[in-house]
Amino acid sequence: MSIYRNAVWFVKGLQEYTKCGYEAAAKHFTPADLDVNLNGRSFMITGANSGIGKSTALEIANRGGTVHMVCRNQGRAEAARDEIIEQSKNQNVHVHIVDMSSAKQVWEFAQNFSQNNSVNVLINNAGCMVTQRELTEEGLEKNFATNTLGTYILTTALIPALKKVEDPRVITVSSGGMLTQKLNVDDLQFEKGTFDGTMAYAQNKRQQVILTERWASQHKEIHFSSMHPGWADTPAVQSSMPEFHAKMKNKLRTDTMGADTVVWLAVSAATTKQPSGLFFQDRKAVVTHLPLAWSRSSPQEDEKLQATLDQLANKFKP
């Protein structure tokens, strides 16, 4: 079944996820959707010092929004912030140094941030693809810790703050790679069998889509969405998937193309006309399973995922 999923997904990707796929979809975009003044609205973006996160931060700063860049590397984050300020002429761009793979750090940051700041939109963009099984200092598999648990803790911790503001939104940058995976709730940290970093990443991205659906059903006051940016030429793709990048680099989207739907979901009035909890690609809600792929999990499995994450997250709560 995994061979079938991978084959169908790759063909789909060649048609839809490339630069050409974006250009075809963009012919149907409504330019006025992004013609907004974001003055007075606050946006938190994880992994904002490069790639899609940085492009998203710049687009929001260009429209007057306050940007909170949550990054791991202080030097790169400050350089990116200075560049965004210079290009946008918007001084309201702030850096917060947080390692999203550290559950304790994420909790502490979210709690401190909520006491001193407001946030209208959370954009869960940070991610990693570690190709060898590696544990964090807290003893967690690194892909899972960053992509799933870190995202879960930050979102959960900020939900009370989000409920206090007007038009709150949460956007999680997932990946079309999740279409190749069925949720495996019994091995969230890939302790069984041979470790495959690409599979682990795709499994994390499936988890993010399921969490988005569950949060949407549980917190009606907030608009949740997940999305696929397409195959973009980002530093993360270059470092984590060098062979894929080498073969596909002329077909890959730019950072700005990859960020387009993130920005649209974050700022457009059209977004909230869509139901909460959907998965988007090129400004359209799309299906979360390939045809005949047998990748759907049961409601009980989805519930177990959230319960397991909640239990694990609370172990690290200050």
Give the residues across from 224 on adjacent strands: 170
Is 201 one of the annotated active-site residues of the chain?
yes
Q: Using an 8 Å Cβ cutoff, are 72 and 97 in contact?
A: yes
How many CB atoms lie under 10 A from the CB of residue 196? 13
Q: Using CA atoms, how far apart are residues 264 and 275, in angstroms rounded to an integer?
A: 15
Q: At what angle do helices 51-62 and 74-88 cross, to 10 degrees?
A: 30
Angle at the Cα of 303 (from 7 to 12), degrees rounded to 5?
15
Closest CA to 218 of 310, 120, 115: 310
Q: Using CA atoms, how far apart are residues 149 and 100, in angstroms rounded to an integer?
A: 9
Could you tell me which residues come within 8 angstroms of residue 231 by beta carbon, excluding any fewer than 6 positions away? 13, 17, 18, 237, 248, 251, 252, 253
Q: Using CA atoms, how far apart are residues 207 and 20, in angstroms rounded to an integer?
A: 28
Exactly one of 17, 22, 152, 201 is catalytic; name it: 201
Assigned token pair, 99 = 């390692």
Classify strands 278-281 and 284-286 as parallel, antiparallel or unpaired.
antiparallel
Closest CA to 221 of 159, 265, 158: 159
Instruction: Give the HSE-up count for residue 273: Cα atoms under 13 Å, Cβ half-sphere.
Output: 7
Closest CA to 286 of 5, 2, 16: 16
**Catalytic residue positions?**
201
